[in-house]
Amino acid sequence: MFTHKTTSNEQAKRLAFLFAKEIIKSKFSKKSALIIALSGNLGSGKTTFVQGFLRGAGIKKKITSPTFVLIKTYKLTNLKTYKLIHHIDCYRIKNAKELFNLGLEKILSNSKNIVLIEWPGIIKKYLPKSAIWIKFKYGRKESERIIKISE
Domain at 142, CATH number? 3.40.50.300
Confidence band, pLDDT 50/70/90 cuts, at residue 63: confident
Range of the domain at 51: 2-25+33-150
One DSSP character per residue, the chain reads -EEEEESSHHHHHHHHHHHHHHHHHS----SS-EEEEEEESTTSSHHHHHHHHHHHTT--S-----TTTSEEEEE--S-SS--EEEEEE-TT-SSHHHHHTTTHHHHHH-TTEEEEEESGGGGGGGS-TT-EEEEEEE-SSTT-EEEEEE-
28-32, 46-50, 105-109, 121-125: which range is least confident on average? 28-32
User: Rounded to two decimals, what is the model's pTM?
Assistant: 0.92
**114 vs 1, more confident:** 114
Between the CA of residue 33 and those of 56, 88, 138, what are the distances in Å? 18, 13, 29
24-33, 77-86, 105-114: which range is least confident on average? 24-33
Residues 46-53, mean pLDDT to the nearest whole number? 96
Number of folded domains in the chain?
A: 1
